[in-house]
A and B are shown apart, each in its own frame.
Chain A
Amino acid sequence: MKRTYLGEFEEIVLLTVAVLNDAAYGVAITDELDRQTGRSVSISAVHAALHRLEEKGMLSSHMGDATAERGGRRKRLFTVTALGSRALHDIRAMRDQLWNSISPNALPAISI
């Protein structure tokens, strides 16, 4: 299987873009990350990750609408590409496969 190089943070950002669907842009992603994972990340870190993912071809982008609170500046809206989707699916499949291979009593129980 072809390996997909995705860092953990990149993976989460990529997933968040998928979560936000049509409204994925810098600040929205940062907020969503905060909400969903409780991680307080800086805008610049998110931008850097988005930039990297776009370079890797997992995201595509286009300029969206401008709003007043942005000082009339447009947003860059991101969407997950087929390659990005494939990567997410691969990771998930690999995890599922690993989970399925764990024998029931191999992990110490964490629930009551």
Chain B
Amino acid sequence: MAPTPPRLADRLIEWFCAPHLLEEVQGDLYERYVRDVVQQSVAQANRNYWRNVLGFLRPFALKRQANEHPKPSFLNPVMLRNYLKIAFRNLTRQKVYSFINIGGLAAGMATAMLIGLWIWDEVTYDLSFTNHKQLAQVMTTSIGDDGAMNTDPRVCQPIAGELRSKYGSDFKNISMSRWNGSALVVGDKTISGIGLWVEDKFPAMFSLSMLKGNINALTDPSSILIDATMAQALFGDAEPLGKIIRVDNNDNYKVGGVFRDFPNKSPITGNTFPSLQNANYFLPWKKYITTEQWVKDAATSWNNRSWQCYVQLADNVDVDKETEKIKNVVMAHKTKAEGVESAYLYPMDKWHLYSEFKNGKPVGGLIQFVWLFSIIGVFVLLLACINFMNLSTARSEKRAKEVGIRKAVGSLRGQLIRQFLSESILVAFVSCIVSIILVIVLLPLFNSLAAKNIQLPWSSPTFWLCTLGFTLITSLLAGSYPALYLSKFDAINVLKGTFRVGKYASLPRKVLVVTQFSFSIALIIGTVVVFKQIQFAKNRPINYKKEGLITVGGVTQGLPRFYDAVRNDLLATGVVDNMSGASDATTNLGAWRTGFNWEGKNPNTLPSFGFMYMTEDFGKTIGWQLKAGRDFSRDFGTDSSAMVLNEAAVKQIGMKKAIVGETIQYEGKNYRVIGVVKDIIQESPYKSVTPMVYLTSRTWIGSVTVAIKTGVPIKEALVKIEKAFKKYNPYLPFNYTFIDEEYAKKFADEDRIGKLATFFTILAIFISCLGLFGLASFVAEARTKEIGVRKVLGASVTSLWSLLSKDFVLLVVISFGIATPIAYYFLGNWLQKYQYHTDLSWWIFAVSGVGALVITLLTVSFQSIKAALVNPVKSLRSE
């Protein structure tokens, strides 16, 4: 075999030599090699070959030839302009279709944006506190006989001292506190507010942002810190520092500082303590513990849990480990017979989102709604994307010709994909602008629904980045399927007219429609159930008459002194049915006690009862209903040792014989049960009623209730009631609240969820219907000829209508089949959360299904009837 040139040298020149020169150069080198082999030796030829190859390491041989027909880059401005121009033409040519696409996408994006803003607001609720990672509240978990745990924010007074002395190095700061709902008075101005009694270091712990004065002002027991709104309300533009404010009409405090308002106020629902951020002012704890005798008495009591305790952990201390360390801090000082409890450090980062406790741990609460709404937001956006995909593919037959021609004149598939993507990007960006406008318009409504004060963060780059990224992702998501699907068409088939979409081409479209409607139907069912549950609780018999009842505050201070006198005055006005006092209002249960004993009680159990003191007139004032025995009455001198129970208490005591007339011991005293009343709803209307013990007292009056005569104008009555009280307390403000309004607040949370759910459901249905409307119009259009022929052959409008509608109805029926079990499962779980809950009746599903069907038919019928009414001459003329 003839010798060949060295392979390595060959490789080398093939690598570096410009392709357009390689053939001639290598040819010449080979020719020379063959001659060298003949004339000299193989070795010499090889050496020459190498030398010659290396000789070509010159610029001219290395330089690649410029392409005579360069491919334009897709980022080339000319191409971009072309893509956009074509996209714009396509949009304007099909106005209805563009409207459906842009409207649907905009609605979906606006929803997602609103939900995003809401979630952001909730998740960052407490982040404005610099020390939020190290702050915690001490909670008490009471452990019942049956192991049931109940966690609440009340602690006993000595706990702070105990934590300081035993675990001092783990905490930076500790502060006891107590809520104070008093109004602040300056001159003749009375402004109601919410405040806290707190220790000196509290403002620093919570890093109050001071506008004026000193953050440590509370070291002076006669000073007060107020927020900017309060300062403005009380003093206007005058300098507030050093001014005197009267609180409770008892004591004067000097303004020691003004702090910036906390950024996030929460709606007050009346069920629990308000959020700390609702506080408008802070008063010194040092002063508080000297004001009232019962507070002084409780200073060393481990059983009286009436206060809050906030702690700031040292920097390197983990809150969970610290909880383990301190959980027995209280039980070290009391016996098991007094009730078993453990302390829990509730980290600030969980306060807002995890407010529901289960087994002593914060597990649920708002976080569930954050998740729920995230899912809804994603789905609503998905619905809008599905519309886009469906309409694009449904029109594919129309655009197939365009794709064919584009391919015939040399479009590559990649270019077509970019063409379609640029269309979807254009639609997405137009939708984005529309959605921002929508959000601006809807935000006030949304804020009122969600009880929030959310603003669009115009100046935040994160927001714009998110919106932009979000739009791009949406456009890729919505545009990918049509782009990949339409660009795949075979040019020859399409142009020859033999192009047929396969039998299963519409299958993905149908799957998407089913997805849309499953979600919409599930939302409808969910909304109906939420409303049914709210209505169910609203219809729950509360067993007292809440209309015309008001609770009076302010002027009632020192009421025991003049109770009978003022009551007589009120009755004499003729506008009042009755007046009474009690330790708590009927809309709020404030005390629980254990330590009751009776004949036949199992000595190993320690049942807990709700506990209320009241004057003899309470029952008659609120109109509770006696089941057995008699009510308290001033006709009997012995009622100070009488006891009234509610039905739940009777059930808990479980005595076999009639309980009226029996004796129950409490704190070493014998009480005789004189009556049983029907359960009145004092707490959440969703909870089962707490077993209640009612006793009489004239001294433990925390709340005064007045029943206004029915038929008397409220305004007139209020004037007279105020006058009657002012006679005894002329300088105190007359505050009143209506019991029925207070009661209604208990539904605020669920009402809000119901309204938001309605909002989202309507949106989801709207978007789905838009899509369906578009689909129906394309289906009708594609079958114009068929309908024409059928009409000529004698088909009636009804039969044509059913022909065109039945496909969609079938899809909705399938969706209903998918949505029902899913909704049943999730809503069943949701309802289980409530002790007093409605059931998932079959009619909810039936109504939702029929509702969805009716909406579908209405949407589709518009198109199908329009198509069925067309004169066949018109549709068949052009062929």
Contacts and interface: CB of A to CB of B under 8 A. Distances in A.
A70 B55 contact: no
Interface stretch (B19-27, B355-363, B588-596): B19-27
B28 interface: yes
A67 B60 contact: no
Given A44-B61, A47-B56, A48-B58, A74 B34 contact: no
Given A44-B52, A47-B28, A67-B31, A73 B23 contact: yes
B60 A71 contact: no
A47 B61 contact: yes
A69 B61 contact: no
B29 interface: yes
A42 B29 CA distance: 11
A52 B60 CA distance: 8
A70 B31 contact: yes
B27 A74 contact: yes
Interface string A34-68: 00000000111101100110000000000100110
B27 A73 contact: yes
Contact of B28 (A43, A45, A51): A43
A84 interface: no
Nearest to A49: B60
Interface in B13-61: 21, 23-32, 34, 51-52, 55-56, 58, 60-61
A108 to B, nearest CB: 40
Contacts of A45: 55
A76 B23 CA distance: 9
A96 B28 CA distance: 36
Nearest to A68: B34
A22 to B, nearest CB: 16
Interface residues of A, number: 22
Given A48-B60, A70-B31, A76 B55 contact: no
A27 B24 contact: no
B34 A25 contact: no
A99 to B, nearest CB: 35
A45 B30 CA distance: 16
Contacts of A44: 52, 55-56, 58, 61
A70 B29 CA distance: 8
A9 B450 CA distance: 89
Nearest to B2: A69
Most A CB contacts (10 A, CB to CB) among B26, B55, B61 go to B55
Given A27-B32, A67-B31, A69-B31, A42 B55 contact: yes
Nearest to B60: A51
Contacts of B56: 44, 47
Interface residues of B, number: 19
Contacts of A51: 21, 60
B32 A43 contact: yes
B24 A74 contact: yes
Given A52-B60, A69-B34, A71-B30, A26 B23 contact: no
A27 B55 contact: no
Contact of B26 (A30, A42, A52, A71): A71
Contacts of A30: 32
Contacts of B28: 25-27, 43, 47, 70, 75
A26 B60 contact: no
A73 B24 contact: yes
B52 A76 contact: no
A43 B24 contact: no
Interface string B50-89: 0110011010110000000000000000000000000000
A73 B30 contact: yes
A71 B13 CA distance: 15
Contacts of A47: 21, 24-25, 28, 56, 60-61
A45 B60 CA distance: 11
A103 to B, nearest CB: 44
Contacts of B29: 43
A79 to B, nearest CB: 15
A55 to B, nearest CB: 9
A111 B60 CA distance: 44
B24 A76 contact: yes
Nearest to A76: B24
Given A42-B52, A44-B52, A48-B58, A70 B25 contact: no
Contacts of B61: 44, 47-48
A42 B25 CA distance: 12
A30 B24 CA distance: 14
A71 B27 CA distance: 7
Contacts of B25: 26, 43, 47
A71 B25 CA distance: 12
A50 B413 CA distance: 42
A58 B680 CA distance: 113
Contact of B24 (A26, A48, A52, A71): A26
Nearest to B28: A26
Contacts of B26: 70-71, 73
Given A47-B61, A51-B60, A70 B27 contact: yes
Given A43-B55, A44-B52, A44-B56, A69 B30 contact: yes
Nearest to B10: A71
A70 B52 CA distance: 15
Contacts of B21: 47, 51
Nearest to A72: B27
Interface in B426-461: none
Contacts of B30: 69-71, 73
B280 to A, nearest CB: 87
A46 B837 CA distance: 99
Interface in B347-385: none
Interface string B823-838: 0000000000000000
A10 to B, nearest CB: 13
B31 A27 contact: yes
A9 B26 CA distance: 23
Contacts of A73: 23-24, 26-27, 30
A97 to B, nearest CB: 34
A71 to B, nearest CB: 5
Interface string A1-44: 00000000000000000000000011100100000000000111
Contacts of B51: 42
Given A42-B55, A44-B58, A48-B58, A74 B32 contact: no
Contacts of A71: 26-27, 30
A48 B28 CA distance: 13
Interface string A69-101: 111011110000000000000000000000000
A26 B30 CA distance: 12
A65 to B, nearest CB: 10
A76 B55 CA distance: 19
Nearest to B59: A48
Given A44-B61, A74-B23, A74-B24, 10 more contacts: A25-B24, A44-B52, A47-B21, A47-B28, A48-B60, A67-B31, A73-B24, A73-B26, A73-B30, A76-B24
A-B pairs, top 5 by smallest CB distance, nearest first, are A73-B27, A44-B55, A70-B27, A26-B28, A76-B24
Interface of B: 21, 23-32, 34, 51-52, 55-56, 58, 60-61
13 contacts: A25-B28, A30-B32, A42-B51, A43-B32, A44-B52, A44-B56, A44-B58, A45-B55, A52-B60, A69-B30, A69-B31, A74-B24, A76-B23
